[in-house]
Amino acid sequence: MDTLEIKNLVVEYTSDDETVHAVNGVDMVIPSGKTLGLVGETGAGKTTTALSILNLVPEPQGRIVSGEVFLEGGNILAMGEKQLQAMRGDRVAMIFQDPMTSLNPIQTVGEQIAEGIQLHRKVDAKEALRQAIAMLEMVGIPGDRAMEYPHQFSGGMKQRVVIAIALACRPSLLIADEPTTALDVTIQAQVLKLINELREKEKMSMLMITHDLGIVAEVCDEVAIMYAGRVVEQGTLEDIFDNVRHPYTRGLFDSLPDIENRRTELKPIKGMMPDPTQLPPGCPFHPRCDYARPECGQSMPNARRLSNTHLVRCHLYNHTTEDMLGVKADA
Ligand code: SF4
């Protein structure tokens, strides 16, 4: 069974005079035990998609307008508050970007890890603390530091504590939202390696949210590229890295340095992400796209399957004939 399946998710944020169209019909699957990298620029809708999985879109401004989010077969968006509380931190856990916002400065790290264990595993405080110390050791922190406070730890160690909290109840799905962005470059690789090793050991599925294709190449099995609240291309690592099809995904690769081929001149994608309160008609990428055709400004392309694993949402692939990027789509 797939761990997670999102169907046609639409999320908006409204204020007095405008509506932000943050997520505009996302479909996504994470097969059991796999890691999906969700990639896109700031404002693409990645974090809102993740918050929807926990049914934590901040109200009253935020609203899940429609869609379904199935976790191991059960629709999270149809759950009552009691069921949601039991699910959060137990079957799904999330690691945020900045460990400081996730940790309570006036509680010891051991207590913070133990809290979730006690809540979800219904064990007494002593047993919860014993398990918390074991978790600390699992993330590479000596157990005798359990009674210390967050300020006594470095940035990388704090993120290890956050990982210990997230994994304490052995969730089936771990959501990691840019988990290494706030860390030193030298620490980033260690934390990433740790997350990946624990994920494999615990056989968890993972949603890795990032704007960094290097991280995707290191830890992900599959990749979904998001633009203006939609997944525009999805496939295996090989589909996306060796067989890129969507012009936006290609633009993301072209804007990276290519050390192997000594390309030093970066080619950033021209223009800016559209204002999510005023998305352009048709394909939202059309004002920036070198391949845009007349229909691109008029109608939204449907997602089209290029193979069993590779999906793309672009008018270039609407036809069965060879197109500009040289791919023959299924009829
Ligand atoms: Fe470019 Fe058109 Fe494809 Fe959008 S649909 S990415 S504008 S070619």
Query: Looking at residue 263, what is its pLDDT?
Result: 55
Query: Looking at residue 161, what is its pLDDT?
Result: 94
Query: Looking at residue 102, what is its pLDDT?
Result: 86
Query: Looking at residue 320, what is its pLDDT?
Result: 45
Query: Looking at residue 1, what is its pLDDT?
Result: 67
What is the side-by-side order of every strand in the sheet holding 19-30? Answer: 19-30, 4-14, 62-71, 74-75
Q: What residues in the chain have per-residue pLDDT under 70? A: 1, 258-265, 319-331
The answer to whether the CB of 314 is under 6 A from ligand 1 is yes
**Residues 271-317: pLDDT tens digits?**
999 999 999 999 999 999 999 999 999 999 999 999 999 999 999 99
The answer to whether the CB of 232 is under 6 A from ligand 1 is no
The answer to whether the CB of 288 is under 6 A from ligand 1 is no
Query: Looking at residue 257, what is its pLDDT?
Result: 72
The one-letter code for the residue type at 2 is: D
**Residues 46-92: pLDDT tens digits?**
999 999 999 999 998 999 999 999 998 889 999 999 999 888 888 99
CA of 7 to the centre of ligand 1 (A): 23
Query: Looking at residue 330, what is its pLDDT?
Result: 45
For 30-50, give the DSSP string: E-TT-EEEEE--TTSSHHHHH
Helix (H) or strand (E) run with residue 7 in it: strand 4-14
Query: Looking at residue 260, what is its pLDDT?
Result: 59
CA of 40 to the centre of ligand 1 (A): 16
Question: What span, in angstroms and rounded, lies between the C-alpha atoms of 61 and 134?
Answer: 40
Question: What span, in angstroms and rounded, lies between the C-alpha atoms of 93 and 165?
Answer: 9
Query: Looking at residue 261, what is its pLDDT?
Result: 58
